[in-house]
Chain A
């Protein structure tokens, strides 16, 4: 396959940045999108040019490290992670536009690499269960209905890649935050702290400068883990009921 790539190049956070066009030839349709970028970077390195920086880690679709806004969609044309996107999804002669996630809460570090530590700070604000260490509890000691366990697990599949923020016209992080709130609020172990958690995580989300939700559903439609919009409704319920009932006057 022969391709034309329009790639966002930006030296550092304060650089203005801009698109650079590269021609690639001899790309196999069986390559993953990241392998195609590896080929580009080998070419650039051989020419003595600075390779294109992009995030990646497991390349198995489970770590949430890869990103990229490909031809106007986060993670490209399919509902999967960029590492699981293959070149067979493109046609010979295609022009592919590659941009970083765009959000004030995800500042660009270099080229296509963005700083997603705002997500970490949201988790640090309350996305956990406080338990004392000790002996391993017996399995199934706390009965949890199967439907609830499944619902919680569905939310827990969120890998925190940030595609929801990238897809949202408001750069809102509601789908991510709601998945993390839901995953814990549904289970007995997480219920203990659910009110404080909802208040703190929403406050941190706002502090980071993410946008508000317009319920367009773009986040869920683009989420590689198919996190459902019902989680956002649950977050709203959790937050409003927490506002009305916590001890924080």
Chain B
């Protein structure tokens, strides 16, 4: 076995992949949020539609987009491999555990939280990404140029209270996942020092509250505007 596969196949190496892909997905969330917030601009979706078109036609963004799918898959696959390994490490469960005394609920349930997020991502991709890419999209014209009217699709979806509720709930799940995942990734990378670890932990909690909250705010506001 080469040194690369030996390292990446160790428990530490698998965790390294989880941390690196997780941190990339955290960065992706920021970029995605920046795009989404344009849905709230009072211009009938013009900025959002132009932004979406710019992103979709930029070759660099398209490469990053493919990488992003790859990293989501890697993150999910490695979590499944690790969960299987970890279950095998304790074949007989304790009859009584008081784990709330030593750890947070979200840190112990990252797998469940992650699986729920994966379900959300699949539904989310079918509803928006697939429609934008392959669906029959309405078109709009701004200053003589034709654009796909993604805003109309989003606006229609966010007019449905069930979809809005599902979206908001999923963001709550994401918040719990991030509340552990953000700082945990740095620990796995070996970055733990009294100078900066308290800051990373606070930043992680802040990120886990603010980013999902802003994501969730968009469908709520659009639902109110629609009705």
Contact = CB atoms under 8 A, between A and B. Distances in A.
B88 A169 contact: no
Contacts of A233: 187-192
Given A103-B89, A233-B187, A240-B7, A212 B82 contact: yes
A216 interface: yes
A214 B107 contact: yes
Interface stretch (A22-30, A66-74, A154-162): A66-74
Contacts of B14: 212
B187 A216 contact: no
B191 A102 contact: no
Interface centre among B16, B88, B103, B108 (most CB of A within 10 A): B103
Interface string A210-221: 111111111001
Contact of A214 (B94, B101, B110): B110
Contact of A69 (B3, B12, B94): B94
B179 interface: no
A230 interface: yes
Nearest to A198: B12
Contacts of B3: 243, 248-249
B92 A102 contact: yes
Interface in A160-181: 167, 169-172
Contacts of A97: 95-96
A85 interface: no
B99 A72 contact: yes
Interface residues on B, range: 35 or more
B32 interface: no
B117 to A, nearest CB: 16
A229 B201 CA distance: 14
- A interface bracket (residues with beta carbon within 8 Å of B): 35 or more
A90 B125 CA distance: 54
Interface in A232-249: 232-237, 239-240, 243, 248-249
A3 to B, nearest CB: 16
Most buried by B among A99, A202, A209, A214: A214
B11 A209 contact: no
Contacts of A73: 98, 101-102
A203 interface: yes
A209 B60 CA distance: 42
Contacts of A236: 12, 15-16, 187-190
A71 B180 CA distance: 26
A240 B188 CA distance: 11
Nearest to B98: A72
Given A211-B90, A214-B108, A249 B7 contact: no
A188 to B, nearest CB: 21
B11 A206 contact: yes
Interface in B126-155: none
25 contacts: A6-B95, A72-B94, A97-B95, A105-B89, A169-B86, A170-B86, A171-B86, A171-B90, A209-B89, A211-B85, A212-B11, A212-B85, A215-B107, A215-B183, A216-B104, A218-B99, A221-B102, A229-B192, A230-B192, A232-B187, A233-B189, A235-B12, A236-B12, A239-B7, A240-B12
The 3 closest A-B pairs by CB, nearest first: A72-B98, A233-B192, A237-B190
Interface of A: 6, 8, 19, 69, 71-73, 77, 97, 99, 102-105, 167, 169-172, 202-203, 205-206, 209-218, 221-222, 229-230, 232-237, 239-240, 243, 248-249
